[in-house]
């Protein structure tokens, strides 16, 4: 999945669960969610494609063996900081990223890949020597070619609708994550509470 798709799916899930629990999404949990929806790629892609330390852009940080301690660590830090909603938001964002990386290749290419979830117990496919920017350019070009197909057009419509829906829900939720910036410049604004 692309970064904006991970973010949209994660935010929609978080907002839905927050509202089902009778709560409004708040800044700190939403910021933790945003970080978590991107974290596996922010770790694995540079280490694999840029430095050649990992065998694949879906290996270490995409593994439950890394995700579980990360989620527990963030949850503990949230509890210590008296921000108990941070841990569950981070967990939801991280796990939605992993789920999306299983679902995306299945929907787009019909390939079911989930071995990376248990890396290094299940070895990741070796992507060869690090290529960095050229590899990213190749992925973008493959994606553009895919978008020019009828299936790609349908995907683009769905993807655009998903991102637009996530944006509209975020605005409806009061724009958590940036609301404190607006409150800081608005006289008499009531600060958001965790």
Where exactly are the structural domains of the chain? 3-185
Q: Which residues contact 69 (CB under 8 A, 6 or more apart)?
A: none
Cα–Cα nearest to 34, from 54, 62, 6, 58:
6
Q: What is the mean pLDDT of residues 24-51?
A: 95
DSSP string, the chain: --HHHHHHHHHHHHHHHHHHTT----HHHHHHHHHHHHHHHHHHHIIIIIS--SS-SSSGGGSHHHHHHHHHHHHHHHHHTT-TTHHHHHHHHHHHHHHHHHHHHHHHHS----GGGGTTTSPPPP--S--SHHHHHHHHHHHHHHHTSHHHHHHHHHHHHHHHHHHHHHHHTT-TTTHHHHHHHSTTPPPP--
Task: Please tell me the pTM assigned to this model.
Answer: 0.87
pLDDT for the residue numbered 189:
61
pLDDT for the residue numbered 165:
98
Question: What's the whole-number average pLDDT of the chain?
Answer: 90
CA separation for the pair 162, 168 (Å, rounded): 10
Q: What is the mean pLDDT of residues 131-144?
A: 78
Q: Is the pLDDT of residue 194 over 60?
A: no
Q: Which two tokens stand for residue 104?
A: 């995306």
Where residue 159 falls among pLDDT bands split at 50, 70, 90?
very high
pLDDT for the residue numbered 79:
97
């Amino acid at each position: 999945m692309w970064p904006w798709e991970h973010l949209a799916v994660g935010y929609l899930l978080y907002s839905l669960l927050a509202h089902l629990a009778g709560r409004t999404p708040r800044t700190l949990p939403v910021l933790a969610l945003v970080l978590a929806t991107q974290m596996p790629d922010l770790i694995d892609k540079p280490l694999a494609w840029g430095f050649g330390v990992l065998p694949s852009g879906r290996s270490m940080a995409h593994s439950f063996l890394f995700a579980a301690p990360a989620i527990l660590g963030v949850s503990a830090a949230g509890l210590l900081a008296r921000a108990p909603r941070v841990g569950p938001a981070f967990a939801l964002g991280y796990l939605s990223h992993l789920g999306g990386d299983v679902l995306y290749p299945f929907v787009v290419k019909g390939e079911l890949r989930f071995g990376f979830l248990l890396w290094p117990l299940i070895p990741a496919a070796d992507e060869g020597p690090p290529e960095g920017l050229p590899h990213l350019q190749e992925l973008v070009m493959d994606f553009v070619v895919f978008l020019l197909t009828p299936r790609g057009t349908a995907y683009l419509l769905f993807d655009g609708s998903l991102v637009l829906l996530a944006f509209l829900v975020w605005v409806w939720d009061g724009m958590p994550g940036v609301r404190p910036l607006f409150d800081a410049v608005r006289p008499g604004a009531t600060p958001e509470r965790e």
